[in-house]
Amino acid sequence: MSTPFTKVALVGRFQTPSVGASVRDIAAFLSERAIDVLLDQNTAASIGPGNWQVLSTEQIGHQAHLAIAVGGDGTMLGVARLLAPFGIPVVGINHGRLGFITDIALAGWRPALGTILDGDFYSEERSLLVSRVQRDGETVWRELSLNDVVVSRSSRSGMIELQVEVDGQYMYTQRGDGLIVATPTGSTAYALSANGPILHPLLQGLVLVPVAPQTLSNRPISLPDNVSIVIRVVGGREPRVACDMQVFTDLQIGDGIRIERAPFTTRFLHPPGYSYFATLRGKLNWQELPSSLQRPGEAD
pLDDT at residue 298 in the model: 55
Report if pTM > 0.75: yes
Residues 1-13: b if buried by 16+ CB within 10 A, e if exposed? eebebeebbbbbb
Contacts of 195-202 with C-beta under 8 Å, sequence gap 24+, read 195/220, 196/220, 197/222, 198/280, 200/276, 201/124, 201/126, 201/276, 202/124, 202/125
pLDDT at residue 16 in the model: 75
Distance CA 288, CA 280 (A): 11
Higher-pLDDT residue of 40, 128: 128
pLDDT digits (tens, 9 = 90+) for 178-236: 999 999 999 999 999 999 999 999 999 999 999 999 988 889 999 999 999 999 999 99
pLDDT digits (tens, 9 = 90+) for 27-78: 999 999 999 999 988 888 888 788 899 999 999 999 999 999 999 999 999 9
Mean pLDDT of 105-119: 95
pLDDT at residue 190 in the model: 96
pLDDT at residue 15 in the model: 73
CATH assignment of 128-263, among 2.40.50.140, 2.60.200.30, 2.160.20.60, 3.40.190.10: 2.60.200.30
pLDDT at residue 148 in the model: 98
Mean pLDDT of 295-300: 55
Query: Is residue 17's pLDDT more than 80?
Result: no
pLDDT at residue 147 in the model: 98
Query: Is residue 300's pLDDT more than 80?
Result: no
Domain boundaries, the chain: 7-121+271-293, 128-263
Fold of 7-121+271-293: Rossmann fold (3.40.50)
Q: Which residues are catalytic?
A: 73
